[in-house]
Amino acid sequence: MIGRAFVYGLGAMGEAGVTRALEVIHKELDTTMALCGERDVANLGRHNLLMPEDFATRWR
């Protein structure tokens, strides 16, 4: 789902744009991981989600 970032970066600035797009994605992932209290992507799971108790029944 991040393929567009590569294409937009490539179209805007060529190889440097792709590199910059990757840097932005890396920074955003790093920030999100910190906000989740995790240091490793492998540790992410359902425990990182906050869902209403009736989530399963309300969205069917």
Instruction: Tell whether pTM > 0.95.
Output: no
pLDDT tens track for 34-46:
999 999 999 999 8
Give yes or no for residue 59 having a pLDDT over 70.
Answer: no
Query: Domain range for residue 10?
Result: 3-58
How many helices and strands in the chain, by DSSP H and E?
A: 3, 0
At 3 the pLDDT is: 87
CB atoms within 10 A of CB 41: 8
Q: How far apart are CA 1 and CA 28, in angstroms?
A: 14
Q: How far apart are CA 36 and CA 50, in angstroms?
A: 11
Distance of CA 38 to the CA centre of its chain: 13
Give yes or no for residue 60 having a pLDDT over 70.
Answer: no
pLDDT tens track for 4-50:
998 999 999 999 999 999 999 999 999 999 999 999 999 999 888 88
Question: Domain count of the chain?
Answer: 1
